[in-house]
Amino acid sequence: MIDFHTHSMLSDGALIPSELVRRARVVGYTAMAITDHVDDSNIEAVLKQIARVARRFNSGSGFRLLPGVELTHIPPAHIPALVKKARALGALIVVGHGETLAEPVEPGTNMAYIKAGVDVLAHPGLLTEDECRAAVKKSVHIEITCRAGHSISNGHVAALAKKTGARMLINTDAHAPGDLVSDERAGKVALGAGLGLNDFRRIQDNARELVKKKLG
């Protein structure tokens, strides 16, 4: 399993980063990103701490940890500057908190994240075809989420992504140990979203390619 959307106690997760990584490895993860919720108030401090943990875990072979952030409830007009700031501060994975049906995200957020070139548009809710086609052009990955609440639009998101050729990822949006999933469970989430086994294999390929692109 490769997961690009997880949270530690640096934002609203239950675990310190090291324990989150340990529990993920026991579940069978080979790579992951810690992407705590940030805005202008905490982005520097959070990235500094995640990067420190990543350097330790990446000093050996095998498992890889990518420092990242999830830009959350950012006014659309401010998104481009914060994406640039996250990159400059060393975020290898920038996740945009999309227009989930579970929260009152400001309209226009999905497209703003896509145009700014985030790596992952998380739980994008009632994603539009125009947004999906823009994601293809900007090489933005569309998330199929394992998280309850956010996942109620997975079928809609998966169908549009497949229609337009947008790259998909399956992420957990983990906040607690029980949110981490195995490859088997991720496959079931894909099937539940209306995707097939070949689609799931492509999603796994997308994840491996993104890790390679970011870490070489």
User: Within 13 Å of residue 88, how many CA atoms lie on the same side as its CB?
Assistant: 8
Query: What homologous superfamily is domain 2-215 in, according to CATH?
Result: Metal-dependent hydrolases (3.20.20.140)
pLDDT the model gives residue 62: 87
pTM over 0.95: yes
pLDDT the model gives residue 121: 99
Residue carrying structure tokens 């995200």? 105
- The model's pLDDT over 86-128, given as tens digits with 9 standing for 90+, comes to 999 999 999 999 999 999 999 999 999 999 999 999 999 999 9
- The model's pLDDT over 62-74, given as tens digits with 9 standing for 90+, comes to 899 999 999 999 9
Q: What share of the chain is helix, strand, coil (3-state, %, to 5)?
A: 50, 15, 35
φ, ψ for residue 18, nearest 5 deg: -65, -40
- Rounded Cα distance between 190 and 203, Å, is 9
Rounded to an integer, the average pLDDT of 163-192 is 98
pLDDT > 90 in the chain, percent: 96
How do the domains of the chain map onto residue ranges? 2-215
pLDDT the model gives residue 60: 76
Split at pLDDT 50, 70, 90, the class of 201 is very high
pLDDT the model gives residue 154: 98
pLDDT > 70 in the chain, percent: 100
pLDDT the model gives residue 216: 80
- The model's pLDDT over 13-64, given as tens digits with 9 standing for 90+, comes to 999 999 999 999 999 999 999 999 999 999 999 999 999 999 988 877 789 9
Which DSSP string do the residues of 82-150 spell out, in sequence order? HHHHHHHTT-SEEEEE---TTTTPPTTHHHHHHHHT-SEEES-SS--HHHHHHHHHHTPEEEEE-STTG
pLDDT the model gives residue 21: 97
Cβ–Cβ < 8 Å for 124, 101: no
pLDDT the model gives residue 119: 98
pLDDT the model gives residue 191: 98
